[in-house]
Structure 1
Amino acid sequence: MQPKLQRVEAHPTVVKRVSRRHEDEAHGGAWKVAFADFCLALMCLFLVLWLLASRNSERMQQLLKTAGADLIEEGQGLTSSLASGSRGSMIDRNPVPAHGEAPVKGKSNQSSDTDLPDADPRLSKSRYESAGEMRELAKLIERIAAQVGLASNLHSAITPQGLRLMLHDTDTQGMFERGSPYPSARMRELLRKLGPLFARMDNQLIIVGHTDASPYSDKSPGAFSNSALSSHRAMAARHQLMEGGMPADTVMQVSGMADRAPLDPARPQAAINRRIELMVLTSSQARQLSGMFGLPREGLSLDATPPNPEGLLQRLQQQLAPYRAASAPAP
């Protein structure tokens, strides 16, 4: 007898699909890469902002030093809160040595006498008095200006007071940033090259700043004006000369005349009116100027005044006529 087969009912097979997509994303590495990129970009942004802030602080210190704030971080007196800023910098301030030259620690940026072109034995004397000696000095300074590309920005004149050196703007090249006492790179290079030359002279120096007649919008008594700008530029020139090696006692006077003495009165806003003048004084003129502002002395005569200042002014204007014509705008 065959066994009785029991009927087995077939049940449907249920397949349950469980999505693990969210768990895979949470445990994957894609979000970590994105987060690392975000952190790197954020760190680069902070680094750039820090460098910009550091550069602005150092530039403010330079401007305040050129304006006469010599106590900034010099270990004397107080430190200006406007220029305190960051105390560190990742940018090396030492000059880059030439190829094959070993860097020297503590070496300053001062120029040396070897930077002077074609040292003339006749210029080895320490004082210049006569017109011929002043003329030789002017030629040497003109060669130095030509080396730095400022031959067209320098004009010299021999006067009874000494050698008058006028470093003026042109329509294509300025000595300072417009409206700023910060000198251009070529102006800084020229003044630092003149530092060693003035260091080996006994002649006293006067530095005078001049601007054009373009006024500032704010004309209140306490606002920044052309008088302040010309004074700050004159102080900036003194600072750059001292950076080149000129002793501080070489300069007898630093002043700013704003737009009160233009070289081109017919065009008060002309580029030639924006200038720095360096007056190399003769010994007699230096004594007279010192007596004028120092302790009054008996017997001081004013007969040394040129008998015909109008004629001297006319001759100087004739000498400057080619420069004014070259800088005049084309019709």
Structure 2
Amino acid sequence: MEDQPIIKRKKIVQGDGHHGGAWKVAYADFVTSMMAFFMLLWILNVTTESQKEGLADFFDPSIPVSANSSGGDDLLFGDGLSGDAHLASDGKTILQGPALSDEELARKLATSLDRVAGEGATKITLSPEGLRIELLDTAEQPIFRLGEAGRTKRLEEIIAVAAPVLRESGRRIKVSGHTDSMQFAGRAYTNWELSVDRANMARRLAVENGVPEGAFYEVTGHADKLPAAENSASPENRRIAFHLLNPETMPLTAR
């Protein structure tokens, strides 16, 4: 009987000894996706409505903005660009379409403010630097509580009416606060601090009502040094002024 040849078949198993590394790639993708998801949830939780609008407008191709702008000072802290006037700020420039003249702005503001604030509670004047809108205290209806800088319903109502015109103007804005000559008794807090705090409160309310943060150029307090009435204790001296600056009066570095 002849010997039969013995044939050995070897089974070849492909792959390394650790069952491959594809699972590591899939796991890394999963972890990255979850991290991005929780980052998105965190951003949505900490941003305000105006900041969310700024984010949305930044990625909207239908809204033209400058290369360095997202509708405000930066991407997360910008203001939305929605509205009749599409404004954008790069920290130096307010971008807008055709600007209104001082006379047109004055007419629009006078019509709106007289209806809300009442006669004698606002004053609009033309100055060499631009248009000045003053919100005045009256004995019957003060815009601030005596000696305080907290918001009041009356101030909120007046600024809510003025803000759309301030936004539409496309101007840089200065805000100044003024007080009467009454002094604080036994406190280090003075009319200087009070006038600045009131001006800054007016600025914050304007921003809340849609005026871009980047529109504001200066916030100052003058205490009782620039009275509007001869009687230094007159309620008329307690006032907030918004100055809409003409571009030609602005320093070159701030235009």
TM over 0.5: yes
Q: Which amino acid aligns with 2:234?
A: A
Report the secondary structure of 1:148's partner residue: helix
Per-residue CA distance 1:48-93 (angstroms, 9 max, x = gap): xxxxxxxxxxxxxxxxxxxxxxxxxx949xxxxxxxxxxxxxxxxx
Aligned mates of 1:234, 1:150 — CA distance in 2: 21
Q: Letter of the aligned partner of 1:214 in structure 2?
A: M
Counterparts of 2:208 and 2:126, CA distance in 1: 27
Q: What is the CA-CA distance between 1:288 and the residue it aligns to?
A: 5.6
2:221 corresponds to: 256
Instruction: State the match for 2:115 in structure 1.
Output: 147
Decide which of 186, 193, 205 is 1:228's aligned counterpart: 193
Aligned residue for 1:127? 99
Give ranges in structure 2 of 5+ residues lacking alignment.
1-44, 48-81, 85-95
Instruction: Evaluate the alpha carbon distance shift between residue 287 and residue 126 of structure 1 in structure 2; reply closer, same or farther with a 3 A threshold.
Output: farther
Partner of 1:168: 136
Specify the structure having the higher radius of gyration (Cα).
1
1:203 paired residue number = 171
Find 2:248's aligned residue among 257, 261, 284.
Answer: 284
**Partner SS state of residue 250, structure 2:** helix
Distance in 2 between residues matched to 1:249 and 1:137, nearest whole Å:
20
Partner Cα separation in structure 2 for residue 195 and residue 112 of structure 1:
12
Contact kept, 8 Å, 2:108 with 2:165, in 1: the verdict is no
3-state secondary structure, aligned to 2:103: helix
Identity among equivalent positions (%) equals 27
Q: TM-score, normalised by structure 2?
A: 0.59
Q: Which has the higher strand share?
A: 2
Alignment of 1:41-120 (within 5 A): 75=46
Q: Secondary structure at the match of 1:195?
A: helix
Q: Is the 8 A contact 1:192 1:242 kept in 2?
A: no
Shift of 1:274: 0.3
Matches of 1:142 and 1:183, distance apart in 2: 23
Q: Report how many aligned residue pairs link the two structures.
A: 166
Partner residue in 1 for 2:208: 243
Aligned residues of 2:117 and 2:158 also touching (Cα < 8 A):
no
* AA in 1 matched with 2:159: L
2:243 matched to 1:275?
no
C-alpha spacing 1:254/1:263, structure 2 compared with 1 (3 Å): same
Are the structure 2 counterparts of residues 289 and 269 from structure 1 closer, same or farther at C-alpha, using a change threshold of 3 Å?
A: farther
* Contact residue 167 and residue 211 of structure 2 kept, 8 A: yes
Amino acid of the structure 2 residue aligned with 1:226: N
Of the two structures, which has the highest relative contact order with CA contacts closer than 8 Å and spacing of 6 or more?
2
Determine the C-alpha separation between the residues in 1 that align with 2:173 and 2:118: 21
- Give the AA of the match of 2:149: P
